């Protein structure tokens, strides 16, 4: 199996990518330019969420093309490497009565197992994942 080293420092949550798509002058877009796209990655779950939104939209072919463009510009990390960690975190959070949605859990744990900072608009939510470094660019 080929060694795939992650050079990124940040994993953008889906809401951050949506901000980026909506406005090239947004705070998120400015921050991505500042740290460079090479330092940012997205999880495959984020790509799935973006495609779901694009397909469901009125201008699906345009929005699918936008998601394809995003896919070509960012490193897309495979969330399967985070499944065990996500399962452990899910159990812990459920026991604490602080469960979060599976997609969010997988995105956060993908950042965690790759040693990346999770960038999200809901730091309080992803901050429930033990050992995850979280920040917001809003």
Residue 1 predicted with pLDDT over 80: no
Q: What is the pLDDT of residue 23?
A: 94
Task: State which residues form the domain around 48.
Answer: 10-135
Structure tokens at 135: 């920040």
In a domain, 122, yes or no: yes
**Separation of alpha carbons 71 and 69, rounded Å:** 5
In a domain, 27, yes or no: yes
In a domain, 1, yes or no: no
Q: What is the pLDDT of residue 107?
A: 98
Q: What is the pLDDT of residue 12?
A: 98
- pLDDT band at residue 138 under the 50/70/90 scheme: confident
Q: What is the pLDDT of residue 5?
A: 56
Q: What is the pLDDT of residue 65?
A: 98
% of the chain beyond a pLDDT of 70: 96
**Separation of alpha carbons 127 and 101, rounded Å:** 13
CA dihedral 121, 93, 46, 10 (to 10 degrees): 60
**Separation of alpha carbons 130 and 53, rounded Å:** 29
Residue 6 predicted with pLDDT over 70: no
In a domain, 96, yes or no: yes
Domain at 106, CATH number: 3.40.50.1010
Into how many domains does the chain fold?
Answer: 1
In a domain, 4, yes or no: no
- Cα 83–Cα 94–Cα 123 angle in degrees, nearest 5: 75
Indicate the SS3 state at residue 133. coil
In a domain, 2, yes or no: no
Structure tokens at 97: 């009565």
pLDDT in tens, 23-59: 999 999 999 999 999 999 999 999 999 999 999 999 9
Residue 2 predicted with pLDDT over 60: no
In a domain, 5, yes or no: no
Task: Please name which of 11, 16, 19 lies closest in space to residue 44, comparing C-alpha atoms.
Answer: 11
Structure tokens at 100: 């979060």
In a domain, 115, yes or no: yes
């Amino acid at each position: 199996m080929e060694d795939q080293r992650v050079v990124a420092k940040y994993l953008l949550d889906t809401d951050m990518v949506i901000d980026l798509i909506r406005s090239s002058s947004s705070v998120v877009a400015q921050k991505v330019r500042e740290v460079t796209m090479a330092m940012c990655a997205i999880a495959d779950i984020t790509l799935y969420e973006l495609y779901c939104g694009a397909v469901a939209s009125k201008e699906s072919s345009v929005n699918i093309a936008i998601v394809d463009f995003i896919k070509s510009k960012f490193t897309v990390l495979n969330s399967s490497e985070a499944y065990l960690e996500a399962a452990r975190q899910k159990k812990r959070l459920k026991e604490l009565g602080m469960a979060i949605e599976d997609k969010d859990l997988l995105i956060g744990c993908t950042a965690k197992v790759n040693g990346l900072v999770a960038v999200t608009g809901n730091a309080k939510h992803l901050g429930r994942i033990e050992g995850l470094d979280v920040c917001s660019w809003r």
